[in-house]
């Protein structure tokens, strides 16, 4: 291999965005820009969901009579209007468009040292010129359009990943036998309870009737991942996110006994007992892509959320664990409840034994 080839290869590799801060997620920049458009966020657009971003989200939610949980889920993003959707990577972006993804595009171009004008989520002349300069530098056709190839060169992080084309979905029928639960059926076929409930218009909190037939939606190919044993999944995702695996194992054992079929009365599911709201928050804000409803996926969501709580509470493990059980907003507003303190003590005691 020639020296020139190595130099060119290194230059192109440098075009793949690398995070420079803990908790960095380019998708968060789109949220910050949307909040700025509403006059609620005046800090730096940095792609890190810190205290100022959280305060802006909560203030926006209060003003629009939404649940004030600090989570920029689908309802909050819909209330943000045109700048609240879609996420970067959900569509091809062209000049004249505006939206959440355009704001992320402008942020990424600026991170690559290119001038885009204001970070306002509107794809105008300056953004188009900056994009074409980037494409020429990256050896791409300078068409001023962001498709999968340009998006990957702009940002190689998982949060920016362009979704693959889904495989055809197959559906099968299952006859419910006495004593079965939706969780058990979901585990048998390798799909989520939520998917079965949605396919059959069922309330997952209610009883199902023995003898009834329900449709089992198949999982698209891109949703299938290697099946990890619980401990292997915990070790893997703990390493990815830099969280102490002993703490994660203790949380998983305390929450579910390593049982991924467990569904709580509050709707929390799986090994890490993740609620639907938390799953959505992790997918849309922390990770930026869909996470499969498998054992490994459940652990992934739980560990990513725990890492975020550790960051929000300055690395204080006790407060992060309390927030995992009680909710971060509740901990900040009311302090740690007595039953939560018992939870934290129990998890910490287990962490040295599992």
Sequence ranges of the chain with CATH classification 3.10.350.10: 171-219
Tokens (6 digits) for 5: 């080839």
pLDDT exceeds 70 at position 299: yes
Query: Phi and psi of 298, rounded to 5°?
Result: -65, -45
Burial of 16 (0-12, 13-18, 19+ CB in 10 A): middle
Taking only the tens place, the pLDDT of each residue in 28-61 is 899 999 999 999 999 999 988 888 998 999 999 9
Taking only the tens place, the pLDDT of each residue in 170-187 is 567 888 888 777 777 776
Tokens (6 digits) for 228: 């990890």
**How is domain 171-219 classified at the CATH fold level?**
Membrane-bound Lytic Murein Transglycosylase D; Chain A (3.10.350)
Higher pLDDT, 6 or 126: 126
Taking only the tens place, the pLDDT of each residue in 54-98 is 899 999 999 999 888 777 877 888 899 988 888 888 888 999 998
pLDDT value of position 124? 93
Arithmetic mean of pLDDT, 293-310: 92
pLDDT exceeds 90 at position 15: no
Tokens (6 digits) for 122: 């509107």
pLDDT exceeds 50 at position 157: yes
Sequence ranges of the chain with CATH classification 1.10.530.10: 230-351
pLDDT value of position 225? 38
Superfamily in which the 3-160 domain is placed by CATH:
PGBD-like superfamily/PGBD (1.10.101.10)
Strands (E) in 130-201, as ranges, are 171-175
Sequence ranges of the chain with CATH classification 1.10.101.10: 3-160
Whether residue 216 contacts residue 172, with contact meaning beta carbons closer than 8 Å, is answered with: yes
The CA-based angle 161-162-163, given to 5 degrees, is: 110
Taking only the tens place, the pLDDT of each residue in 211-254 is 888 888 764 433 333 345 788 889 889 988 999 999 999 999 88
Architecture per CATH, domain 230-351, reads as Orthogonal Bundle (1.10)
Q: Model-level pTM greater than 0.75? A: no
Long-range contacts of 111-116 (CB under 8 A, 24+ apart): 111/17, 111/26, 112/15, 112/17, 112/154
Active site residue 255: yes
Among residues 255, 283, 312, 339, the one annotated as catalytic is 255
133-138-141-145 Cα dihedral, nearest 10 degrees: -60
């Amino acid at each position: 291999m020639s020296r020139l080839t190595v130099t060119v290869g290194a230059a192109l590799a440098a075009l793949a965005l690398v995070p420079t801060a803990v908790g960095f997620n380019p998708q968060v920049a789109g949220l910050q820009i949307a909040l700025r458009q509403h006059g609620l966020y005046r800090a730096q657009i940095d792609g890190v969901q810190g205290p100022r971003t959280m305060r802006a989200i909560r203030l926006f939610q209060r003003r629009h009579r939404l649940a004030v949980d600090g989570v920029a889920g689908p309802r909050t993003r819909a209330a943000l209007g045109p700048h609240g959707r879609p996420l970067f990577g959900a569509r091809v972006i062209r000049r004249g468009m505006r939206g959440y993804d355009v704001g992320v595009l402008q942020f990424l171009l600026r991170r690559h040292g290119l001038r885009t004008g204001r970070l306002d989520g509107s794809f105008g002349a300056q953004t188009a010129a900056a994009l074409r300069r980037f494409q020429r530098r990256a050896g791409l056709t300078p068409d001023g359009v962001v498709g999968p190839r340009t998006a990957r060169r702009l940002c190689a992080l998982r949060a920016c990943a362009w979704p693959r084309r889904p495989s055809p979905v197959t559906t099968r029928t299952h006859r419910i036998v006495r004593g079965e639960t939706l969780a058990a059926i979901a585990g048998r076929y390798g799909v989520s309870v939520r998917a079965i409930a949605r396919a059959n218009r069922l309330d997952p909190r209610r009883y199902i009737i023995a003898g009834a037939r329900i449709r089992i939606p198949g999982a698209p190919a891109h949703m299938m991942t290697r099946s990890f044993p619980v401990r292997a999944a915990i070790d893997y995702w703990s390493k990815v996110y830099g969280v102490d695996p002993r703490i994660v194992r203790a949380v998983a054992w305390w929450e579910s006994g390593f049982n991924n079929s467990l569904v709580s009365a509050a709707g929390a599911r799986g090994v890490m007992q993740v609620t639907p709201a938390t799953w959505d928050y992790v997918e849309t804000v922390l990770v930026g892509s869909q996470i499969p409803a498998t054992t490994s996926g459940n652990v992934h969501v739980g560990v990513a959320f725990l890492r975020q709580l550790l960051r929000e509470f300055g690395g204080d493990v006790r407060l992060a664990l309390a927030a995992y059980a009680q909710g971060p907003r509740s901990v900040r507003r009311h302090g740690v409840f007595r039953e939560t303190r018992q939870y934290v003590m129990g998890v910490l005691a287990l962490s040295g034994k599992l």
